[in-house]
Amino acid sequence: MLQDGALHLLLAHADIDRPDPVLDGGLPAEAASVVRRPFDGGLPLSRRIESERPDDLPAQRWGVIAPSGELGDRLLACVQPLIDLRQAQQGGAPPLILRAPPDAALSQDDAQRWRDANYDELDKDPGDRTRAEDQPAYLLILGDLHQVPETLHQILGSDCFVGRLAFSTQSGEPELAGYEAYVDKLIRWERKPADVQHAYARFLVVDDGSSATLSSRLALLEPALSLARRDLQLGRLPTFDPQPSSELGIVSPVELFSQARKSGIGVLLSASHGLGAPRGGWESVELQHQQQGAMHFGRAGRLTGGDVARGVFLPGGIWFMLACYSAGTPLSSHFRPWLEQLQQAGQFSEAVQKVLAGLPRPGERPFIAALPQALLANPEGPLAFLGHLDLAWSYGFQDLSTGMQRNQPERFLNLISSLLRHHRVGVALRELTRYIGSTNAQLTRLYSKAAETGTPMNMAQLAHLWMVRQDLMGYLLLGDPAARLPLQAAAS
């Protein structure tokens, strides 16, 4: 078991093919204690989605959030067949449609006010059609990050099952054909599931020789696979084909394609570096939007959106890609305050600049990565993609808050297991993001104890917990949160 105590970052330079990630070797664990960011109390606690019937659409309801104005009208028209299907599936109740402000820089406070006025107000008027029971727990956001801001996604994701569809041209205009292709694919699979009752699962890591991917293998994927085998033997998982440990590592896109073209319906969990900015910066914004967040294979190349736009790649399946920017690039990293304080403290100043190099410059927009856009628009691609909308650290599966490194692969295995048990993908993601709530509770206890006793807080523990929270908040679902693996057992 790897016990190096380092903070690993899954980010690689776009112009280096050899194993030379941005922070090879990671940052020392004590670097986290530099942070002095105050805790904001966390996001709202979950409500209806913790019910005993989370997959029941008539009980949970489904809705759409689209940009305001003519753009939103066009996107809603593209997904109208899906709106009609969901209405039929929830007993004829029309899905709620909300309009969002097109402000990429919308603050969390403003996002909360929007929610208060447009979503939470639904339960205030007893005579209104949209009573509390009509509030949709499943919400599909339409539009890229400059069309519906990330902060709305975060605020609603605290207690709703939220997914996003975003298909954009390099100039930021909507790619309407992508929305239509995804909806056609999803409806096709729902109306005619695969002729199988169980899915397969594959755990893969790019063996590029870096400490970050080695940590991902030893602390996440190998123990998760062992736990999955145990759960299978104990009857806690439906039948699936557990892979040999020797098949965990891959070194090229060719090997990934061989796994993604496997017959049947599958779930893929991969760990790799995500493609970041070249050492000299991106030559153009267009090139950045094409390549940032692509899967990096070191000398063996990379997997980009253009590689998966056509042809069979995990058809009807779900891919969870653990890598920096794999889901997209935000307007500003949630780790920026910590990294800037780290720089001011004189620790790894050159490396910190490299880490921040992939963020949009003033006047540039945030964006969903090209790789998941291409996969979801591909008629022979997956139904959902889970990735990271920011820097992806090892905090998601390693806990350093107690002063010792404790691996927690069960956070990710629970998500995969939920998918294999035919839960909707929004429900499965909750298996990972629910740890945000427990982390918030620990942070609250630290602050409360310090306030009540007057004793100083353990700043190292505080910083580690804050990093865990930020890392977990970065995971994003792309695709309809009500989608699930199209198996015969889930065809009801």
Give the residue with greater pLDDT, 241 vs 434.
Answer: 434
Distance spanning both ends of the chain, measured CA to CA:
43
How far, in Å, CA of 313 to CA of 259, rounded?
9
How far, in Å, CA of 319 to CA of 381, rounded?
10
Specify the length of the chain in residues: 492
pLDDT class of 454 with cuts at 50, 70, 90: confident
CA dist list (Å): 126 to 93, 130, 131, 263, 284:
17, 9, 6, 51, 53
The model's pLDDT over 152-198, given as tens digits with 9 standing for 90+, comes to 998 998 889 999 999 998 888 999 999 999 999 999 999 999 999 99
Instruction: Break the chain into its structural domains and give their ranges.
Output: 6-33+195-490, 52-191
Question: Within 234-364, where are the H helices?
Answer: 253-260, 285-291, 305-308, 336-344, 349-356
For the segment 16-44, the average pLDDT, to the nearest whole number, is: 56
Name the residue with tokens 């998982």: 237
For the segment 250-260, the average pLDDT, to the nearest whole number, is: 94
How far is it between the farthest Cα atoms of the chain?
A: 64
Instruction: Name 58's bridge partners.
Output: none
pLDDT class of 432 with cuts at 50, 70, 90: confident
Q: What's the confidence (pLDDT) of residue 186?
A: 98
Instruction: Describe the crossing of helices 176-191 and 80-89 by its angle, rounded to 10 degrees.
Output: 30
pLDDT class of 426 with cuts at 50, 70, 90: very high
CA 81-82-86 angle, 5° bins:
120
Q: Locate 217 and state its tokens.
A: 């293998």
Instruction: Name 174's bridge partners.
Output: 168
How far, in Å, CA of 99 to CA of 64, rounded?
8
Of 271, 273, 198, 275, give the one whose Cα is nearest residue 241.
198
Q: Locate 344 and state its tokens.
A: 């001011």
DSSP 4-70: --EE-B-EE-TT--SS-BTTTT-EEGGGGGG--PPP---SPPP-GGGSS-TT-HHHH-EEEEEESHH
For the segment 210-239, the average pLDDT, to the nearest whole number, is: 89
pTM of the model: 0.90
How far, in Å, CA of 107 to CA of 121, rounded?
20
Q: What's the confidence (pLDDT) of residue 49?
A: 54
Of 383, 329, 381, 322, give the one whose Cα is nearest residue 360.
329
How far, in Å, CA of 373 to CA of 309, rounded?
9
For the segment 250-268, the average pLDDT, to the nearest whole number, is: 93
Q: What's the confidence (pLDDT) of residue 42?
A: 42
The model's pLDDT over 368-420, given as tens digits with 9 standing for 90+, comes to 999 999 999 999 999 999 999 998 887 777 766 555 567 778 889 999 999 99
Tell whether the model's pLDDT for residue 322 goes beyond 80.
yes
The model's pLDDT over 45-54, given as tens digits with 9 standing for 90+, comes to 344 555 668 9
Mean pLDDT of the chain: 85
The CATH class, in words, for 52-191 is alpha beta
How far, in Å, CA of 267 to CA of 202, rounded?
6
The model's pLDDT over 329-381, given as tens digits with 9 standing for 90+, comes to 999 888 877 666 656 655 545 566 777 889 999 999 999 999 999 999 999 99
How far, in Å, CA of 58 to CA of 433, rounded?
24
Q: Locate 211 and state its tokens.
A: 């400490």
pLDDT class of 291 with cuts at 50, 70, 90: very high
